[in-house]
Amino acid sequence: MLFTAVAPLSLFDDPQEWSAFSQSVRQQSHVWQSSVVFEGMHCAACAIHIEDALKAVPGVGAVQVSAASHRGLVEWTDAQTRPSEWMAAAEKAGYKVVPANDALANEQRRSDARQLLWRWSVAGLCMMQVMMYVTPAYLSKPGDITPEMVQLLRWASWVLSLPVMFFSCRPFFASAWRDVSQRRVSMDLPVAIGIAVTFIVSSLGTFEPAGPFGGEVYFDSLTMFVFFLLTGRWLELRLRNRTAGALEAVMNRLPSSVNRKTTNGLWERIAIRRLVVGDVLLILPGEAIAADGKVIDGLSQVDEALLTGESRPLSRGLGSDVIAGSHNLSAPIQVRVTQVGAATRFAHIVALMESASVSKPEIAMVADRWAKPFLGFVLMASLGAAIYWWPQSPAHALMVAVAVLIVTCPCALSLATPAAMLASAGALARGGVLVRKLQGLQALASVDTVVFDKTGTLTQDAFALAAVQTREGLSPAQALFWAGALARHSLHPVSRAISSASRQEASKTDQLAAWESLQVSQMQEIAGEGVEGLMSPVTQPNLRVPTGKLRLGSGRFCGVNLTASLALRAVLADETGWLATFELQEEIRSDARETVQAFINQGLHVMLLSGDGDAAVQKVASMVGITDARGGCSPQDKLAALQGLQAQGHQVAMVGDGLNDGPILAGANVSFALGQAVPLAQSKADFVLLGAQLGVLVSVWARSRLTLRVVHQNLAWAAIYNAACVPVAILGWLPAWLAGLGMAFSSLCVVFNALRLSTELNDYLKV
């Protein structure tokens, strides 16, 4: 369903539509997390107001709203509330809600940009014409222009100011009225007050030239600073859309409909939400792939750049896996769907990116907390300036107050951090690195220790079975048959290798059906140790199976003492003891040594913590240049080692990919999960590397330091600007138009400085 602008909010209450903009967080407690876009936001105060309004709705839990991206994540319980209720609460607060992945969100953003461009154009044309009318008054000598002509020029300027007031300034007044009606303060309120006061003072001077405000009119200042404000806001909107473009380019890559094969062999066009596992799709050149699947016909090139970081087109033919969100480039292919909706890798990536787009680093939350009280200070300072100057000249006093209101508006302060963080996040996304938590960029800049996992991180995630040793009376083929049936229930790289080898062997001996018929009950996996279960045949009762539970994993887990060896080994044991040992070969990632050495050259301490045998761990450590390596570590051992480092004052980054890395990824100061990591590991990480290259870690670390440097530059600029301009405005040395120019210039300096990160990051990540 495509929601339209006139659709009632009750349409969002249909549970069948929730999957379009929400995902289940905790199925048992019926908790959902919805991704939405808020219209009408302009500043950090708006984000705070929205969060407060939504949290007041019963059934709404955590709420995160980003002032920079205008996106939000709302967590709610369907037993207590419905989307229409919390959406209505946001609209009552003055902010319309649109599902983030709905086509209407993109169309509304384009519509807003067009309207803003029209308002800016009207303000610019009127400003130029008003400047033509006031120029003779500025350049002429006393007596050169008659009083009647001066008054005529004032009336002409007043008429030209009306479109500016009633059309160009409408967003400022609408936002200010919404704030006043809700008894709150945002950054548009001082701007609207300044514009209104300037127009009223100038109008009084035009209507009553002999009155207390008739000495001078300020229509030129009015139109000029409105033009400057809209210029800043329009450029800011363009730059924000450009910054967020990389995130949305990934999040909105799925087509709205697909060609599905019917039972009679024909093709029908259906909505993507109607797809189910097993459907066969026809993907034409230039189309996006709508679901994870396997190619069953055709050969083509696909583009997975925004999903995996791989910039080169990849060949995909019969039997190849394709992922949702990638693009078919050269020829038609037929794909059988294996995963749809939230189960696809694309959906998981989108969930991670949506979380990042609304997360707030600590430094940004500090700025947000200061922005609201600072607005109160601005209003009080403006009132104080007006009172001070009133005895000398009421007109001058009001214009001084206007200058104070305009020049001190803390837009730059609120934009300083999120603009830089989102610019970095967008550039990193284009380079194949997802920033799941913006706080990670801040934390990474101060890291002094990097801890690596071994299997699937420093080594390739795929292993090859090298040898099988068994006890007397058991053939290697039989041991591999049992081990593979047990291993296929685990995602660990060692289990995947044994399962793959077992499947291949069963297929060669025509035992694949028997192998697949084996059922494992009482299945249990101990993170970092191994798997165990009770095996029984389903369709072939005469098939030989162990009578008790089987265990597959480390020697310690299986109760077997292994002799020291440099080989990576897994043990199979039953309730009587050892059955078999499987030796596997692993390869070091091509850039692992260079990555480790780069960190060491930068003065960082590098460690290796692994659950594998100490001999194998030491071998890998020596190959990549790590001197501090520990093997045989359980998840608790890894976490204890991490906490020991942190207790010594170290800031630790963790890089891992497996299920057993979840605790340490969550406990580290900042963490990285490789793209093939299991979902639990990714959910605990601050960054997700979509590609297979470790070298990007060094780039991200270096760029995090640059990002934090830009944030500090932005904050320093905002502080210096306000500290310098407030006294000048209070002293009456700053005209209103120059105050508007200063405010717009300040915000643009912050945004342009942040935009440098986008270009520099892209160049750096190509290295």
Sequence-distant contacts of 666-674: CB under 8 A, at least 24 apart: 667/639, 667/642, 667/643, 668/451, 668/642, 669/443, 669/446, 669/447, 670/440, 670/443, 670/444, 670/447, 671/440, 672/697, 672/700, 674/456, 674/457, 674/461
- Gap between the Cα atoms of 588 and 514, Å rounded: 35
Residue that has been written with the tokens 């200061």 in this structure: 370
Residue 36 predicted with pLDDT over 80? yes
CATH of 257-353, one of 3.30.70.330, 2.70.150.10, 3.40.50.10470, 3.40.50.150: 2.70.150.10
CA angle 136, 139, 142 (to 5 degrees): 90
Residue 35 predicted with pLDDT over 60? yes
Q: Alpha carbon of 372 to those of 48, 382, 475: distances in Å? A: 9, 16, 74
Q: 464-585 in CATH: which number?
A: 3.40.1110.10
Residues 190-237 pLDDT 10s: 778 888 888 888 888 888 877 676 667 778 878 877 887 787 677 666
Residues 707-748 pLDDT 10s: 888 888 887 887 787 778 878 888 878 776 677 667 767 777
CATH of 9-100, one of 3.30.70.100, 3.40.640.10, 3.30.70.380, 2.60.120.10: 3.30.70.100
Task: Name which residue leads in pLDDT, 303 or 248.
Answer: 303
Task: Name which residue leads in pLDDT, 197 or 598.
Answer: 598
Who contacts 44 (Cβ-Cβ below 8 Å, separation ≥6)? 67, 367, 368, 371, 372, 414
Q: What is the pLDDT of residue 3?
A: 40
- Gap between the Cα atoms of 88 and 9, Å rounded: 8
Closest CA to 620 of 571, 659, 584: 584
Number of helices (H), then strands (E), belonging to the chain: the values are 25, 27
Closest CA to 247 of 406, 425, 377: 425
Alpha helices by DSSP H, 472-537: 476-487, 493-508, 512-517
Phi and psi (nearest 5°) for 497?
-65, -45
- Gap between the Cα atoms of 246 and 202, Å rounded: 46
Residue 755 predicted with pLDDT over 80? no
Beta bridge partners of 580: 470, 572
Could you tell me how far CA 198 lies from the centroid of its own chain?
41
Q: What is the pLDDT of residue 167?
A: 93
- Gap between the Cα atoms of 622 and 629, Å rounded: 9
CA angle 423, 428, 429 (to 5 degrees): 100
* 3-state DSSP assignment of residue 5: coil
Q: What is the pLDDT of residue 496?
A: 83
Tokens matching residue 302? 């696909």
* 3-state DSSP assignment of residue 32: strand
**Which is it for the CA torsion 568, 573, 577, 578, positive or negative?**
negative
Whole-number CA gyration radius for the chain: 32
Q: What is the DSSP letter of 551?
A: E
Residues 360-393 pLDDT 10s: 556 555 555 666 677 677 778 888 888 888 888 8
Average pLDDT, the chain: 78
* 3-state DSSP assignment of residue 434: strand
Residue 312 predicted with pLDDT over 70? no
Residues 336-358 pLDDT 10s: 988 887 667 677 666 655 565 55
Indicate if 464-585 has the same CATH topology as 433-459+588-690: no
Q: What is the pLDDT of residue 118?
A: 92
Residues 465-513 pLDDT 10s: 888 889 888 888 888 988 888 888 887 778 888 888 888 888 888 888 8
Q: Which fold has domain 433-459+588-690?
A: Rossmann fold (3.40.50)
**Helix-helix angle 411-430:219-251, to 10 degrees:** 30
Task: Name which residue leads in pLDDT, 2 or 126.
Answer: 126
Please spell the DSSP secondary structure of 681-719, one letter per residue: HHHH-SEEE-SS-STHHHHHHHHHHHHHHHHHHHHHHHH
Structural domain boundaries in the chain: 9-100, 108-248+360-421+711-760, 257-353, 433-459+588-690, 464-585
